[in-house]
Structure 1
Amino acid sequence: MTTVSQISPAIDPTTQGAALSDDANWWRQASVYQIYPRSFADGNGDGIGDLRGIISRVPYLAKLGVDAVWLSPFYPSALADGGYDVDDYRDVDPKIGTLEEFDEMVAALHGAGIRLIVDVVPNHSSDRHVWFQEALASPKGSNARERYIFRDGRGENGEEPPADWTSIFSGPAWTRVEDGQWYLHSFATEQPDFNWKHPEVHEEFLKTLAFWSDRGVDGFRIDVAHGLAKDLPEELPSKAELKAMPKDGTHPLWDRDDVHDIYAEWRELFDRYDPPRIAVAEAWVETPERRAKYASPKGLGQAFNFDLMEADFDAEHFREIVTDNLAQSAVTGSSTTWVFSNHDGVRHATRYGLPPREGRPFKQGADWVLAGGPEDGIDKELGLRRARAATMFELALPGSAYLYQGEELGLQEVAEIPDEQRQDPAFWRTTAEDRGWDGLGRDGCRVPLPWTREGSSFGFGEGVAHLPQPAWFADYAVEVEDGVEGSTLEMYREALRLRRELQTEETLTWDEELSSGDVLAFERPGGWLSVTNFGAEPVALPAGEVLIASGPLDADTEGAVQLPGATTVWLRRAGA
């Protein structure tokens, strides 16, 4: 059996050279690999992924060919929301590692030419955070309480919450404390919202951003970036009134214009470093124009667009999304972002094997998982073919591409997790008929990765993984795909290598002759083309050198190359 060290030997970061340039624009067309640390690699055998595990896999990441790693929360946490309930913003969870190991990881990544982006969670803390514990021990109206959003309740004795609002994870958005006041939590009860009108909150996060920047972090992913600024009147609106309010910069809770004053402060700090630290906003907003504000060079500089995550595998829809987002990035001077899978959604290899979502964001997949699993209405082979084609499409686009751990293996979503082993509050705080998000919550995309075809956790670690891995994970292990021509892993490696080689200006030109019906083609500077067949029937390809294809190509009776359905090819035109 292949061992962990044979797949990805540990490295000594002190022997690594300075492989990073000082290019301030490195992020504009970077390929970024998201690591959910508790599920990537377990270095000490306790069933939980850790920094030691990540360090051991740096050679794997380097061979994959990514430009940066985005590390999801690794801070001390009770895991009420997968680490997005933070106890201490300037430390490492002891179950994941130490600050010394964090420094070692940064050195190892940088030595391999890979930059590091870390998650920051500024909308809310954990209820175990020292500030919130101080707030609970302090009286009404105290400075400690003012760092959060506390209100008196309604009713004769304040027994009713200040408003009938519902949290993102369902259930009330207000929780009562011992002295009768209530605090706001937009997400889980264990995640009290900060009051960003308080100057100490500003100061605390500037210290946090500087703390990690000084340790070599290259950038930050800002969680719930559209939620920090709030303006709550004395008499709070009802849930129905709140829902009816436009999210045009004036909403009491979401996407307020004044949130950008916070990010202007952050930008001043980021620009003190050489090269400047980068940031990308997770901002679920109403329009591309609203999203563009987060990508301002005077603010965070870049913002996620999740449009392709919500799109069916459809040529017309993909073209519309790409055109709109490139236009918006041109307005801001930023570069756009592309993503198909992350820690919050059904993996796209599964999503594309299911019936079309038809405009139902975050609900596609619910019927499948509630029905019992992959055998109920999912075409896994078609889903993987489409996912590979979509990824090749993504990697050909100008802008930065965000990849989620395991997608390079073609991993499917895991539905078969016993209820008692699920961890996501999106599962536990909703009903069986409406599980929220994607059916059974988000645990299915957070199952620890398979590295070997055998072992108690398929090479994830020496012990049993913290979320159960299905037996079919053996077929997707790194060991199974490594070096195998045509495997999803090798396709990703070659596509990422070519992407680095071919990327130049951040422009594309739609090839109108080739783009028709189910076919979408565009040309990049340098004379190379990306052609995707979104349909089922093969189509003719123009003459040229095939650089890479997401699957086998066909030939017609006369020997001309044909592009099968659900396939993308990159080619260089003859004479280019």
Structure 2
Amino acid sequence: MTQDLAPSVRPAAASPSEPVSGTGGWWRSAVIYQVYVRSFADSDGDGIGDLRGIRERLPYLAELGVDAVWLTPFFASPQADGGYDVADYRAVDPLFGDLSDADDLVREAHRLGLRVIVDIVPNHTSDQHAWFRAALAGREGGPERERYHFRPGRGAAGELPPNDWESVFGGPAWTRTARADGTPGEWYLHLFAPEQPDLNWENQEVREEFESVLRFWLDLGVDGFRIDVAHGMVKAAGLPDIGLSEQAKLIGAQVLPFFDQDGVHEIHRAWRRLLDSYPGERVGVAEAWAPTSERLALYVRPDELHQAFNFQFLTCDWGAAAMRTVIDESLAATRSVGAPTTWVLSNHDVVRHTTRYGGGERGLARARAAALLMLALPGSAYVYQGEELGLPEVVDLPDEVRQDPAFFRGDGQDGTRDGCRVPIPWSGEEAPYGFGPGGSWLPQPEGWAELSVAAQSGDPRSTLELYRSALALRHELPGLGDGEMTWLEAPEGVLAFSRPGLVCTLNTRGEEVGMPVPGRPVLATSALEFTGGTVRIPVDSCVWWAV
């Protein structure tokens, strides 16, 4: 007997205002949806997503069943790195609207039962920030330059960078300034693009300014912050050489003198005290690359931040053994400090997992299965816009439309981040597929009409309906969200674990596998075949069983 468990009738979703299961704060079990602001929805026809467009689409997110929305930076910025180069932390960039649009968005989200997390960028500012302009205009060694990392160069005439650090985007992490008379001057540190000078967090004025910025947005009503480069704000004393090249490949593999220094934790403790001083369980989420799960757990100790992204899970290869190792290590590390584990498959900086898992039908099948796995694991999950549609990476963007600064500095990151940032399709038969009344800032592929929200809504076999069903069940089943899990015996290449009232099975081997039926199937990514008390689970499939 073959049984198709496509979600033809979606379970009734819990109200977004109702907490998902688990103990303690809302964030411990929350599903948080990442909105890349310029690529979500455009309200004014300029081809760039904006805050009003997001607000108009919030009902879609409430129906999807997520608990919170994370917005990438929408602050005033020259947009040298997609808004992660901030010129004014208290202003909305005109590309995206104004401060009243941000206020309206937060209010509407709260009305719908959704919380709002905004990106804060404390490691660096834009080179157009008033502080950096003052630093360039000020004298060498002057107080304006103490907010950043200015140093004299090495070599007979200071012609060499102060140390051997490399930018994450490629090339040296230092750029030389020119004095008023045009002669070469000091160098400044930028771990990312030259337009993103690193702040000096040993400077008390920097710390006080960011406390004020956080209060500004907390007073407006946001529910927390995703902290960009939370591992990078403190540099090793003396800025020592590393002695190795291709340093971007070492990030997350070892402690570097510019990343994951112990001094960052003092900053996060101060921010936690600030967050706790506000009502409503405001949260801090660390974007932190650390070489081990144990070091990552330091960011979420009880007096530090609430969550940290689990990049070990995101970068894990497809396969039961590798996945089980990452899951075990992640749970053990966060359990040691009493924090929830987070799970994420894609974001705005990595190739979409539909493509990472092989692309085409195989990649989509694996992506759907990985989604059910992620949503069944203990803790909190992050969904990147468009993954609920099964969007693939756009791999054939013409060079002339690319905007990722890493693309233009070829020895840093892979430079392919534009491909996961292409605006998502909402409806219609041709681009821009309902994204807005005009075009889109990056071209959308032909053939995306069948992947649009409108095309997938109501289709029981679509990836969108799979996510909607999984998120509805996550609210309904008391054993999902934060809590315990137990591994079960399973054939090689299969993951099987139990949560209270639920069993999850994932087949990663290259063929279908038979195993005893563990319960009543409630959701599956592929049709199942039953023979007596045995079930045949297809290749690259995941099943939820009620027990």
Q: TM-score by structure 1 length?
A: 0.87
In the alignment, what sits opposite 2:7? Answer: none
Identity rate of aligned residues, in percent?
Answer: 52
> Structure 2 vs 1, CA of residues 540 and 64 (structure 1 numbering), >3 Å: closer, same or farther?
same
Deviation by residue 1:518-537 (Cα, 9 ceiling, x = unmatched): 11111111x21111111222
Q: Which aligned pairs between 1:28-427 and structure 2 lie closer than 5 A?
A: 28-179=28-179, 180-233=185-238, 236-237=240-241, 239-240=243-244, 251-353=256-358, 379-427=359-407
Q: Could you tell me whether the CA contact under 8 Å between 1:24 and 1:276 is conserved in 2?
A: no
Alignment pair present for 1:572 and 2:535: no
Letter in 1 for 2:377: L
Q: Which moved more, 1:244-253 or 1:385-394?
A: 244-253
Query: Counterpart of 2:26 in 1: which secondary structure?
Result: coil
Q: CA deviation at 1:466?
A: 0.2
- Structure 1 residue 401 displacement after superposition: 0.4
**Using the alignment, how far apart are the partners of 1:503 and 1:281 within structure 2?**
27
Preserved contact between residue 459 and residue 465 of structure 2 (Cα < 8 Å) = yes
Secondary structure of 2:69 counterpart: strand
Deviation, structure 1 residue 275 = 2.3
Q: Secondary structure at the residue paired with 1:289?
A: helix
Q: Secondary structure at the match of 1:70?
A: strand
Contact 1:453 1:475 in 2 (8 A): no
Listed as ranges, the matches of 1:534-549 within 5 Å are 534-535=508-509, 536-542=511-517, 544-549=519-524
Per the TM alignment, residue 163 of structure 1 is displaced from its structure 2 partner at its CA by 2.0
What is residue 504 of structure 2 aligned with on the other side? Answer: 530
Cα deviation for residue 81 of structure 1 reads: 1.1
8 Å contact kept, 2:253–2:290: no
**Per-residue displacement from partner, 1:453-495 (whole Å, max 9, x unpaired)?**
3244111011110001110211211111011111000000000
Deviation, structure 1 residue 27: 0.3
* TM-score, length-scaled by structure 2: 0.91
Contact 1:248 1:256 survives alignment (8 Å): no
Distance 1:247 1:327 in 2: 18
Unaligned runs of 5+ in 2: 1-14, 180-184
What value does the CA root-mean-square deviation take over the aligned residues? Answer: 2.4
Aligned to 1:442: 417
Please report how far the alpha carbon of residue 24 of structure 1 lies from its aligned counterpart in structure 2 after TM superposition. 6.3
1:539 CA displacement: 2.0
Measured in 2, the distance between the counterparts of 1:213 and 1:175 equals: 35
Query: Judging changes above 3 Å, is the alpha-carbon distance between structure 1 residues 569 and 242 closer, same or farther for their aligned structure 2 residues?
Result: closer
* 1:307 match: secondary structure: helix
Amino acid at match of 1:69: V
Q: Against the structure 1 CA distance between its residues 247 and 347, is the aligned structure 2 distance closer, same or farther, given a 3 Å change threshold?
A: closer
Shift in alpha-carbon separation, 1:107–1:331, aligned structure 2, 3 A: same
Q: Within 2, Cα distance between the matches of 1:221 and 1:381?
A: 33
Q: Classify 1:242/1:200 alpha carbon distance in 2 versus 1 (closer, same or farther; 3 Å).
A: farther
Paired residues in the alignment total: 523
Structure 1 residues 571, 91: closer, same or farther in 2, change over 3 A?
same
* Higher RCO structure (Cα 8 Å, ≥6 apart): 2
Counterparts of 1:172 and 1:106, CA distance in 2: 40
Give the Cα–Cα distance (whole angstroms) in 1 for the partners of residues 545 and 49 of structure 2: 39
Judged with a 3 Å threshold, the aligned counterparts in structure 2 of structure 1 residues 443 and 303 are, in CA distance, closer, same or farther, namely same
Q: Does structure 1 conserve the Cα–Cα contact (< 8 Å) formed by 2:516 and 2:533? A: no
- Contact 1:508-1:522 within 8 A present in 2 as well: no
How many angstroms apart in 1 are the aligned matches of 2:497 and 2:539? 17
8 Å Cα contact 2:254/2:291 also seen in 1: no
Distance 2:438 2:264 in 1: 44
Mapped contact 1:18–1:110 kept (Cα < 8 A)? no
Shift of 1:559: 8.8
Structure 1 residue 349: deviation in Å? 0.8
Distance (whole Å) between structure 1 residues aligned to residue 107 and residue 252 of structure 2: 42
Considering fraction of residues, name the structure with more strand. Answer: 2
* 1:170 alignment partner AA: G
